[in-house]
Amino acid sequence: MSCNKLEDSHVYGSHLVSDDRFRRFVFRELNEMRKREFLCDVIILADNGCRRFPAHRAVLAASSRYFHKLYNGTTLARYSRETILSGICDRELETVVHYIYTSEVCIDGDNVRALLHAAYNLGLDLLTLACEKYLVENVHHENSIELMVLAQMYSCDKLLKTTGQCIGEHFLRLSNTQPFFRMSPRQLQQIIADDDLNISREEEVYNAVIKWIRFDYERRRDDFPNLINHIRLQFISRRFLLNTVDKEPLVTSSEFCRGLLADALALKAVDRKKICIYGHLHHKKRWRTHLMKVIMIVGGITEDPGSSSHCYNPLTNTWYSVARIKQDRLDFGMSRVGYWLFVVGGSSPRESGSVLASVERFDPKYNKWEKMESLIQARSKFELAEVEGKLYSIGGTIGGEPLTRDNAVECYDQVNNTWSSRAAPHQLRHFCSTAVLHCRIYAIGGISRCGTVLSTVERYEPQYDRWMTAAALNTARGGACAVVLNGHIYVMGGSSERSALSSCEVYNPSMNKWTYFSDMSIKRDRAGAAVFDDKIYVFGGSYGNVVIDTVECYDPAVGRWETVAHLPNARHGFKCACALVNKELVREVKVKAKSEKLI
């Protein structure tokens, strides 16, 4: 019998061992060898630096495409004791070498640009992706143009897409900034060619381009014909074309530009339905110009089961029918992020009353709802709030049972389409109302786990994932609705231990105090509310067994409530929020005043 084999070894089978501890041990030992300069066969230097970094050629070549090519070729660098790198300083070189030996790096606003430059040029692909991810997570309108330039320079596709979306979203704000005026012609062309550009009128794009040209007129005037080719001239008003565009020297001095202007004026006479036969980009209207700001009413129980979504335009006192959500629900959460509207959780209006975890997002571009990642924990009778692009579900119940502290709050990250748990408030509650003021979420009133109607208020700070106590309401109430207007929180209606309420309170954050303001004309429990053009609109609700179909409006400048409209269908258990819809895809609904309806 062989001493190297177990007896009857064939009965043991095989087992693959993959030990991460050993892998980490080897790299830890290699790093220690590097620090002691043990078996190091190369010295890395920055061309303008003064520090020397001993290393192992094999480790560098295995980690970096640049070093692999350098040490695998026939150049003198393969045999030279020293390798000098250009375009990198000692500080970043030390960070890069440390990363190669440990896979650890600390990225911050001070070093990310230099690290991205080094990682890209050295072929450290994973470090490049890490820098790109950091930048993507920190894109905002103030740095979007600068980061777009970085994305193009270092081929960061995801960062380029994110910055492009940010620039398009904040185009009008950015068009008056120095970074905008310093953009290259090619970069500006890419932006104004975007169909998603956030504008209300095409004239805004034309004015922005003219300002960019005039910032450096002599050098940029020759770029105008190419840029104007991406302006949808046909959708500019005839008056503006004749009074402004036709008198612009940049246009009149160019035969090409004059031709585009003539085509645009000619298309004004073409039947609107026939415009789509033109395939040129500047004949396609930007879809954002179709958007209309409205107050969306979604879900709940109505007398018409086939209708669950409507929107209301207070400016014209007009109702429209909107695409129906995929899954009917009531007592859910709803909030807007950008131009999308999210509907989250709730319970089924059917006899089963099952609690839902599903999430839907309304896309105004296509007037469609689409499914998104579900909640970790199904819930109903809760509130949804948005802070800096993230959604927070606050409180609620699972069936008839309150949520626990482990699942009371969840956060949705739209970028990654994921939910995660957050710190629970001190008081677990359902049927509370929420409001976001100065990037803080206020959980107001509601009903406790033991069924007590609450007056307590807590404030959540997402940045620190912590809850703080705020001043309590004057009247305990659950099922109230809340909005933010002019730096104050307004809370309307709800119900006390005894009955539904018509009373309203306003919170002054500087004084940390609630005071009463004008009562609504009728008691409303579980109504919906939204702010539109500095006025508060409250929709529907109920008291006792009566469902209300009226809409009341409160103007703080006047200080009183006024009934301004009726809902298309009496409903309860719904939600409302300011939203955007595509006015070309919604259908106007005629509404007649109705009497209150029993439930």
pLDDT tens per residue across span 541-581: 998 888 999 999 999 999 999 999 999 988 888 999 999 99
- Tell me what pLDDT residue 201 has: 92
pLDDT-derived band of residue 394, with 50, 70 and 90 as boundaries?
very high
| Cα 364 from Cα 493, distance rounded (Å) | 31
Domain 184-269: assigned CATH number: 1.25.40.420
Stated as kind and residue range, the H or E segment containing 84 is strand 82-85
Q: What is the DSSP letter of 142?
A: T
Residue 191, helix vs strand vs coil: helix
Q: Exposed/middle/buried for 72, CB within 10 Å: 0-12, 13-18, 19+?
A: exposed
Q: Exposed/middle/buried for 269, CB within 10 Å: 0-12, 13-18, 19+?
A: exposed
Among 270, 256, 335, 265, smallest CA distance to 296 is for 335
Q: What is the mean pLDDT of residues 446-455?
A: 94
| Cα 337 from Cα 448, distance rounded (Å) | 29
Q: Is the pLDDT of residue 404 over 90?
A: no
Q: Exposed/middle/buried for 524, CB within 10 Å: 0-12, 13-18, 19+?
A: buried
CATH architecture of 291-589: 6 Propeller (2.120)
Are 208 and 189 in contact by the 8 Å Cβ rule? The answer is no
CATH architecture of 20-138: 2-Layer Sandwich (3.30)
- Tell me what pLDDT residue 75 has: 66
Two tokens, residue 473: 């309401």
- Tell me what pLDDT residue 304 has: 66
- Tell me what pLDDT residue 6 has: 66
Return all residues near 394 (Cβ < 8 A) that are at least 6 apart.
382, 383, 384, 385, 408, 409, 425, 432, 434, 441, 443, 460
Q: What is the mean pLDDT of residues 333-353?
A: 90
Distance from the Cα of residue 111 to its chain's centroid: 26
pLDDT-derived band of residue 271, with 50, 70 and 90 as boundaries?
low
pLDDT-derived band of residue 221, with 50, 70 and 90 as boundaries?
very high
Residue type, 393: S
| Cα 561 from Cα 375, distance rounded (Å) | 37
Name residue 390's beta-bridge partners: 387, 413
Return all residues near 478 (Cβ < 8 A) that are at least 6 apart.
430, 431, 432, 445, 446, 447, 453, 454, 494, 495
Mean pLDDT score of the chain: 90
Are 201 and 172 in contact by the 8 Å Cβ rule? The answer is no
Q: Which residue has the higher pLDDT, 407 or 1?
A: 407
Handedness of CA 465, 469, 472, 478 (dihedral sign): positive
181-186: long-range contacts, CB 8 A cutoff, minimum separation 24:
181/211, 181/212, 181/215, 181/216, 182/145, 183/145, 183/212, 185/220, 185/223, 185/226, 185/227
pLDDT-derived band of residue 76, with 50, 70 and 90 as boundaries?
low
Q: Which residue has the higher pLDDT, 175 or 47?
A: 175
Percent of the chain at pLDDT above 90?
75
- Tell me what pLDDT residue 373 has: 96
Q: Is the pLDDT of residue 7 over 90?
A: no
What are the angstrom distances between the C-alpha of 43 and each of 54, 62, 81, 87, 88? 4, 16, 6, 17, 15
Return all residues near 75 (Cβ < 8 A) that are at least 6 apart.
none
Q: b/e for 410-432, b at 16 or more Cβ within 10 A?
A: bbbebeeeebeebebbebbbbbb
What are the angstrom distances between the C-alpha of 316 and each of 74, 365, 582? 77, 22, 16
The residue ranges of every structural domain in the chain are 20-138, 184-269, 291-589
Q: Compute φ and ψ for 223, nearest 5 degrees.
A: -85, -10
Two tokens, residue 17: 């061992």
Q: Is the pLDDT of residue 599 over 80?
A: no
pLDDT-derived band of residue 207, with 50, 70 and 90 as boundaries?
very high
pLDDT-derived band of residue 2, with 50, 70 and 90 as boundaries?
low
- Tell me what pLDDT residue 18 has: 81
Name residue 326's beta-bridge partners: none
- Tell me what pLDDT residue 570 has: 81
First to last CA, the chain: 88
pLDDT-derived band of residue 425, with 50, 70 and 90 as boundaries?
very high
Q: What is the mean pLDDT of residues 335-352?
A: 90
- Tell me what pLDDT residue 393 has: 97
HEC profile for 528-571? EEEEECCEEEEECCEECCEECCEEEEEECCCCEEEEEEECCCCE
Q: Is the pLDDT of residue 95 over 50?
A: yes
